[in-house]
Structure 1
Amino acid sequence: MNTTPGSETRLSRTLTLPSLVLFGLAYLAPLIVLGIFGVIAETTHGTASAAYLVALIAMMFTAHSYGRMAVAHPVAGSAYTYVRRSIEPRTGFLVGWTMLLDYLFLPLVIWLIGGSYLTAQFPGVPIGVWVVLYMLVTTVLNVLGIQVADKANFVLMAFQVLVIVIFVVLCAVAVAGDRGASGLLSVEPFWNSSTQLTAVTAGAAIAAYSFLGFDAITTLTEEAVEPKKNMPRAILLIALIGGAIFVIVSYATQLVHPGGSFPDPDSAASEIALQIGGAFFAAVFLAGLVIAQFASGIAAQASASRLLYAMGRDGTLPKAFFGRLNRKFHTPVLNLLLTGVIGLGGMFMDVATSTSFINFGAFIAFTAVNVSVIFHFFRERRRGVRHSVIAYVVLPVIGAIVSVFLITRLDSNALIVGVSWFCLGVVVLGIITKGFRKAPPTMSDI
């Protein structure tokens, strides 16, 4: 294996199944369910739990497909690698390029949202200060190595889970105090007299955004212990545990505040936190939201750097920059610094603008992975290897249909930016393949 001074080309396998699940849940940021609760409750006319349940079922199909591909191709790169190996290298490049919308800019959005929370609490401090602090601390932790980031994630996730548990308990106490213990059991958060199926599915499309990132753990495959066994389990557990948290928390919150009318849907959960726990818990709740963004930022930046590393190692991006690992830390330091610099763009953007184009790349990746499983099934069948038709055809077809449906639910700005970025990727692909006459560079053996 060729190496260059100060760099290596092999990642270290140190992540166990619990660590993988923890990283994935940090990426999801479970507290996001409360950050967007008001919007979903308003959309569904007070049945936010139903929306999250539908979204969970939908996401499990795609999680299943990611698991199948992680077994077939236990290397870094996520959907990018799965598509280029199962379908075709040029298609894989375009999927990887489109995913960059999600992976590269998600840390920016996470740090921007965290900065927005802090600026609301401390209006005298410019949001740029908070964004820079988020970026610096997160980048240093990721440069030091996946094990250091893993330990930090454990502490941050522990606090985030603690806030969620306290919130749910306070909701239960408030409901039991008003309506008795029987009030804790109700179908209204799932279906009530105002429920419409179209409203629930519209809410589910919004709720599905909370799951974005469950797939990002596949970019850490080369750092996972026994990846063929642990990666599929981790992916399904992340989607299932995250979805269960979303359903339970939205159920408890919807019991405290039936219906979908709020003075301000964007800050509905903060108002409810103040209602059930007073000023002290409201402050703790705010701290939890800020920390959730920090933990999610660690995982998001780590995954973005690994995707760039995989594409750099292939040569589809300049290898001298993107395909290098630092010899001391065994991490793609240059990629981490690049994602950190991009994250500073959050100082000049607002949340609505920065989030509008991320989902396009994510849902394209979901669709492509489901289709990759189907291609893999028929390719293996030609080689005489038999796989389950249900697991490798039926379930992925359902997952692909759901993902395409989610794409159609994106607003026009997201579609315009997404399609424009895709077209730019076609131009780049044409250049590196000399007019599409040859395939992009193939991943080196590892």
Structure 2
Amino acid sequence: MGEKSTADLKRVLSFRHVVFFGLAFMAPSTVFGTYGVAAFQSDGMIATGYIIALFVMLFTAYSYAQLVKAYPSAGAAYTFTKKAIHPHLGFLVGWAILLDYMLSPMISSLLLGIALKAFFPSIPMFVWIILFVIIFTAVNILGIKFAANFNTYVFLISLLVFVLFVVFALHYLLKGEGAGTAFSILPFYDQEVPLSGLIGVIPILCFTYLGFDAVTALSEETKNPTKTIPKAIFIIPIVGSILYVIVTYLLQLVYPNISSFTDPQSVQYEIAYLIGGIFFKTFFVVTGIIPSLTSAIASSSSASRIMYAMGRENILPKKIFGYISPKFHTPVYNILIVAFVALSSLLFNLTTATSLINFGAFFTFIFVNISVISHYFIKKRNRSFKGTIKYLIIPSIGAVFILCLWLNLGWYSFFLGGLWLVVGFIYLLKQIKESKQSTSDIFLDNEYESNH
């Protein structure tokens, strides 16, 4: 394990690979799972809610796109903040985003284990979780191109759910069932829905966009990353939004009486049975495991690349975290660490893992927006009228939007996320203290780079 690796990451990913990778991380079919709760809380207009959520998240997507042009590195947000603001803060941001990327496979493992346990009650849930972790770990170890191709094909299969849903829903509506029409403005505007209810559900909808940022971690494995990655960063949430809006529009028309939901958390299964009978409901449930697999593969890839960037610079132990397999050109040890964390889903619950993910993602997004201001507006002095709009006003709006979302997280998220940051801060202090130099070479290599 301790041998020095002479291998490196290889640029093998195309624009198509990157886009499907990001969509797989987002897992757009989760729109079915979140619809009931979101619609019940807001009393409708979820289609408009997703349009607002897209508007909010595009500001941060813009900031990611600007920074990846300046720093096309596997370190993603960690590298952005480190080089644009300060190395120590960069470490804490990288530490925070690991919560998102490393715990996402854990949530996917839990969701899949729960679903398959319901189908096969005689088989213990831990069997499914272990098998699931072995599969997504093996796919990632075999190479990023193999993982990207695998995710692309599996994700395309999951799109069948959307196609069949649209077909069955339109057939149901054209028969005069549900709202009795396939054309209505109510999913977009309903004067009966209070504005406070709609705004209150936006944070829930924004969570479904987490993952578009993950593709920045693939910069060193993407062909022409300064052009490919920025385009993909915008395409991913826009494509996801189109799917979200179509689905929620039809869901509301098929089942317009939102207040009568028996169970908001499982209303999607009721609607699937309503429009397509037992066939579609069964197909709907079975294919529901696909997003868990694709999301786990994508998040595991991103997490392992963030850890590799930290290990390469010896912020984390280089012999382990900075190792690249000469055969597969993947950070094998990091992938195995993510797998080990995913196996801890046998001991955790969804509430704990979700709280940590939301805290880490929004904390990171805030500093990505600030990094644009620091790099372009302050350091590069792009302060013309156009530069002020691009590098001060837009990222400032993005930072404020995300800060509002972050502050709306519950105390549980702040307690657990705060503990994680404290652990990272203590580790950072230890690293600085152990360095005999007044300016740590481990953390402050950006000064040299900026002068050369």
In the other structure, the counterpart of 1:45 is 43
163-172 vs 68-77, greater mean Cα deviation: 163-172
CA change 1:337–1:374 in 2 (3 A) is same
In the other structure, the counterpart of 2:308 is 309
CA change 1:443–1:139 in 2 (3 A) is farther
CA change 1:44–1:93 in 2 (3 A) is same
Cα distance between partner residues in 2 of 1:382 and 1:27: 35
Cα distance between partner residues in 1 of 2:200 and 2:149: 38
Contact 1:47/1:259 (8 A) holds in 2 = no
Contact 1:48/1:250 (8 A) holds in 2 = yes
Contact 1:27/1:296 (8 A) holds in 2 = yes
Structure 1 segment 162-311 matched on structure 2, within 5 A: 162-178=160-176, 183-261=181-259, 262-311=261-310
In the other structure, the counterpart of 1:76 is 74
CA change 1:373–1:135 in 2 (3 A) is same
CA change 1:377–1:199 in 2 (3 A) is same
Structure 1 segment 111-126 matched on structure 2, within 5 A: 111-126=109-124
How far has the Cα of 1:414 moved from its partner?
0.7
Output one character per residue of 1:192-242: Cα deviation in whole Å (capped at 9) or x when no partner: 243111111111110111111110110001001100111100101011111
In the other structure, the counterpart of 1:140 is 138
In the other structure, the counterpart of 1:103 is 101
CA change 1:303–1:415 in 2 (3 A) is same
Cα distance between partner residues in 1 of 2:243 and 2:153: 18
Question: Which amino acid counterpart does residue 65 of structure 1 have in structure 2?
Answer: S
Cα distance between partner residues in 2 of 1:348 and 1:435: 35
Structure 1: segments with no counterpart, 5+ residues = none
Cα distance between partner residues in 2 of 1:348 and 1:181: 44
Contact 1:34/1:269 (8 A) holds in 2 = yes
Aligned equivalent of 1:149, options 147, 150, 160 = 147
In the other structure, the counterpart of 1:57 is 55
- SS state at 1:325 partner: coil
Question: Which amino acid counterpart does residue 303 of structure 2 have in structure 1?
Answer: A
Cα distance between partner residues in 2 of 1:206 and 1:300: 20
Output one character per residue of 1:153-174: Cα deviation in whole Å (capped at 9) or x when no partner: 1221111111111112211111
Question: Which amino acid counterpart does residue 317 of structure 1 have in structure 2?
Answer: L
In the other structure, the counterpart of 1:13 is 11
In the other structure, the counterpart of 2:391 is 392
Cα distance between partner residues in 2 of 1:283 and 1:8: 49
Contact 1:104/1:339 (8 A) holds in 2 = yes
Cα distance between partner residues in 2 of 1:339 and 1:227: 25
How far has the Cα of 1:382 moved from its partner?
4.0
Cα distance between partner residues in 1 of 2:178 and 2:238: 31
Between the aligned residues of both structures, percent identity stands at: 39
- Number of residue pairs aligned between Structure 1 and Structure 2: 442
Question: Which amino acid counterpart does residue 281 of structure 1 have in structure 2?
Answer: F
How far has the Cα of 1:180 moved from its partner?
10
Question: Which amino acid counterpart does residue 171 of structure 1 have in structure 2?
Answer: A
310-319 vs 373-382, greater mean Cα deviation: 373-382
Contact 1:6/1:326 (8 A) holds in 2 = no
- SS state at 1:8 partner: coil
- SS state at 1:178 partner: coil
Contact 2:174/2:182 (8 A) holds in 1 = yes
376-385 vs 293-302, greater mean Cα deviation: 376-385
In the other structure, the counterpart of 2:439 is 438
- SS state at 1:184 partner: coil
CA change 1:383–1:395 in 2 (3 A) is closer
Structure 2: segments with no counterpart, 5+ residues = none
TM-score by length of 1: 0.95
402-411 vs 374-383, greater mean Cα deviation: 374-383
- SS state at 1:326 partner: coil
Contact 2:112/2:289 (8 A) holds in 1 = yes
Contact 2:173/2:180 (8 A) holds in 1 = no
Cα distance between partner residues in 1 of 2:209 and 2:146: 25
Cα distance between partner residues in 2 of 1:304 and 1:374: 26
CA change 1:383–1:196 in 2 (3 A) is closer
TM-score by length of 2: 0.93
122-131 vs 10-19, greater mean Cα deviation: 122-131
Output one character per residue of 1:418-443: Cα deviation in whole Å (capped at 9) or x when no partner: 11111121111111011895344356
Output one character per residue of 1:336-358: Cα deviation in whole Å (capped at 9) or x when no partner: 01100110011122222321221
Output one character per residue of 1:115-170: Cα deviation in whole Å (capped at 9) or x when no partner: 11111222222211111111000000100001111121122111111111111221
- SS state at 2:11 partner: coil
CA change 1:171–1:386 in 2 (3 A) is same
Contact 1:45/1:259 (8 A) holds in 2 = no
Aligned equivalent of 1:27, options 22, 25, 28 = 25
Output one character per residue of 1:292-340: Cα deviation in whole Å (capped at 9) or x when no partner: 1111111011111111101111111111110010000000000001100
CA change 1:424–1:177 in 2 (3 A) is same
Contact 1:31/1:288 (8 A) holds in 2 = no
- SS state at 1:116 partner: helix
Cα distance between partner residues in 1 of 2:48 and 2:254: 16
342-351 vs 317-326, greater mean Cα deviation: 342-351
Question: Which amino acid counterpart does residue 394 of structure 1 have in structure 2?
Answer: I
RMSD: 2.1
Question: Which amino acid counterpart does residue 88 of structure 1 have in structure 2?
Answer: H
Question: Which amino acid counterpart does residue 357 of structure 2 have in structure 1?
Answer: I
In the other structure, the counterpart of 2:428 is 429
Contact 1:100/1:361 (8 A) holds in 2 = yes
In the other structure, the counterpart of 1:405 is 404
- SS state at 1:357 partner: helix
